Chain A
Amino acid sequence: MIPAAFEYYRPKDMAGVLSVLEEHGDDARVVAGGHSLIPMMKLRMAEVPHLIDLQDVAGLTGISIDAGRIRIGAMTTQHEIINHAGLTDAAPIMREASLQIADPQVRYMGTVGGNVANGDPGNDMPGLMQCLDATFILVGPDGERSVAARDFYEAAYMTDRADDEVLTAVEFAAPNAGYAYEKQKRKIGDYATAAAAVLITKEGGACASASIAMTNLSDTPVYSADAGAALVGSSLDDASMKAAVDAMLGDIDPTEDNRGPVEFKRHAASVILRRAIENAWDRA
Chain B
Amino acid sequence: MNKELTREERTDALGGMGCKRKRVEDARFTQGKGNYVDDIQLPGMLQGDFVRSPYAHARVKSIDSSAAMALDGVIAVLTAEDLAPLGLHWMPTLAGDKQMVLADGKVLFQGQEVAFVVAKDRYIAADAVELVEVDYEELPVLTDPFAAMESDVVLREDLLGDGGSLPDGAHGPRKHPNHIFTWEVGEKDATEQVLDEADVVAEETVYYHRTHPCPLETCGCVASMDKVNGKLTLHGTFQAPHAIRTVVSLISGIEEHNIRVISPDIGGGFGNKVGAYPGYVCSVVASIVTGVPVKWVEDRMENLMTTAFARDYHMTGKISATKEGKITGLHCHVTADHGGFDACADPTKFPAGFMNICTGSYDIPTAYLAVDGVYTNKAPGGVSYRCSFRVTEAAYFIERMVEVLAIELSMDAAELRRINFIKKEQFPYQSALGWEYDSGDYHTAWDKALKAVDYDGLRAEQAQRVEEFKAGKTRKLMGVGLTHFTEIVGAGPVKNCDILGLGMFDSCEIRIHPTGSAIARLGTISQGQGHATTFAQILATEIGLPADSITIEEGDTDTAPYGLGTYGSRSTPVAGAATAMAGRKIRAKAQMIAAYLLEVHDDDVEFDVDRFVIKGAPEKFKTMKEIAFAAYNQAIPGIEPGLEAVSYYDPPNMTYPFGAYVCVMDIDVDTGVTDIRRFYALDDCGTRINPMIIEGQVHGGLTEALAVALGQEIAYDDMGNVKTGTLMDFFLPTAWEVPNYETDHTVTPSPHHPIGAKGVGESPHVGGVPCFSNAVNDAFRAFGLRHTNMPHDHWRIWKTANDLGLHG
Contact = CB atoms under 8 A, between A and B. Distances in A.
Interface string A182-209: 0010111111010000000000000000
A267 B808 CA distance: 12
Given A186-B711, A259-B794, A260-B798, A271 B123 contact: no
A187 B122 CA distance: 32
Contacts of B729: 258
A44 interface: yes
B419 interface: no
Interface in B762-808: 793-795, 798-799, 802, 807
Contacts of B407: none
B397 to A, nearest CB: 26
Interface stretch (B373-381, B601-609, B732-740): B732-740
B671 A186 contact: no
Nearest to B711: A186
A4 B129 CA distance: 11
A187 B795 contact: no
Nearest to A185: B794
B661 interface: no
Given A264-B799, A271-B671, A187 B734 contact: yes
A190 B731 CA distance: 10
A67 interface: no
Contact of B737 (A2, A188, A268): A188
Contact of B798 (A103, A188, A190, A264): A264
A184 B795 CA distance: 11
Contact of A184 (B300, B301, B671, B736): B671
Contacts of A188: 734, 736-737
A184 B793 CA distance: 12
B724 interface: yes
A258 B723 contact: yes
B596 to A, nearest CB: 63
B1 interface: no
B126 A261 contact: no
A261 B798 CA distance: 11
Contacts of A264: 672, 794-795, 798-799
Given A1-B299, A4-B127, A184 B794 contact: yes
A249 to B, nearest CB: 15
Contacts of A190: 728
Tell me which of B299, B301, B728, B733 has the highest count of chain A C-beta atoms within 10 A of its own C-beta: B728
Contacts of B728: 189-191
Contact of B122 (A2, A186, A193, A271): A2
Nearest to A265: B795
Nearest to A270: B670
Contacts of B130: 4, 44
Given A1-B300, A1-B301, A186-B731, A271 B670 contact: yes
Interface in A230-275: 258-261, 264, 267-268, 271-272
A19 B737 CA distance: 46
Interface string B730-755: 01011011000000000000000000
Nearest to A193: B794
Contacts of B795: 193, 259-261, 264
Contacts of B736: 103, 187-188
B219 to A, nearest CB: 14
Nearest to A190: B728
Contacts of A184: 671, 673, 794
- Most A Cβ at <10 Å: residue of B301, B673, B737: B673
A242 to B, nearest CB: 12
B722 to A, nearest CB: 11
Contacts of B299: 1-2
Contacts of A2: 122-123, 125-126, 299
Contacts of B807: 267
Interface in B671-693: 671-673
A1 B38 CA distance: 15
A259 B723 CA distance: 11
Contacts, number: 65
Given A1-B300, A187-B733, A268 B126 contact: no
B699 to A, nearest CB: 18
B159 interface: no
Contact of B123 (A5, A103, A260): A5
Interface in A21-66: 44
Interface in A140-190: 184, 186-190
Nearest to A274: B670
A186 B713 CA distance: 13
Given A258-B723, A259-B795, A268-B798, A189 B122 contact: no
B126 A187 contact: no
B185 interface: no
B66 to A, nearest CB: 20
A186 B794 contact: yes
A44 B299 CA distance: 14
A188 B715 CA distance: 21
A193 B125 CA distance: 37
Interface string A56-98: 0000000000000000000000000000000000000000000
A268 B794 CA distance: 10
A181 to B, nearest CB: 16
A189 B807 CA distance: 29
Most interface-central of A1, A4, A189 (chain B CB within 10 A): A1
A278 to B, nearest CB: 13
Contacts of B301: 1
Contact of A103 (B125, B724, B734): B734
A189 B794 contact: no
A268 B802 CA distance: 12
B772 to A, nearest CB: 15
Nearest to B47: A2
A187 B737 contact: yes
A272 B798 CA distance: 14
A38 to B, nearest CB: 14
B127 A5 contact: yes
Contacts of A267: 670, 798, 802, 807
Nearest to A4: B127
A36 to B, nearest CB: 12
A268 B669 CA distance: 11
Contacts of A189: 728, 734
Contacts of B300: 1
B659 to A, nearest CB: 27
Contacts of B673: 184
Contacts of B715: 258
Interface in B231-282: none
B705 to A, nearest CB: 16
A209 to B, nearest CB: 27
Contacts of B670: 267, 271
Contacts of B802: 267
A83 B723 CA distance: 37
A260 B794 contact: yes
Nearest to B475: A271
A264 B793 CA distance: 12
Nearest to A261: B795
A186 B793 contact: yes
A4 B724 CA distance: 23
A38 B711 CA distance: 27
Given A44-B130, A267-B807, A187 B731 contact: yes
A267 B475 CA distance: 14
- The 7 A-B pairs at the shortest CB distance, nearest first, are namely A260-B795, A2-B126, A188-B736, A1-B299, A264-B795, A271-B670, A258-B729
10 contacts: A186-B711, A186-B731, A187-B711, A187-B736, A189-B734, A193-B794, A258-B723, A260-B793, A268-B798, A271-B671
Interface of B: 122-123, 125-127, 130, 299-301, 670-673, 711, 715, 723-724, 728-729, 731, 733-734, 736-737, 793-795, 798-799, 802, 807
Given A1-B299, A4-B130, A259-B795, 10 more contacts: A103-B736, A184-B671, A184-B673, A186-B794, A187-B711, A189-B734, A191-B728, A264-B798, A267-B798, A268-B672
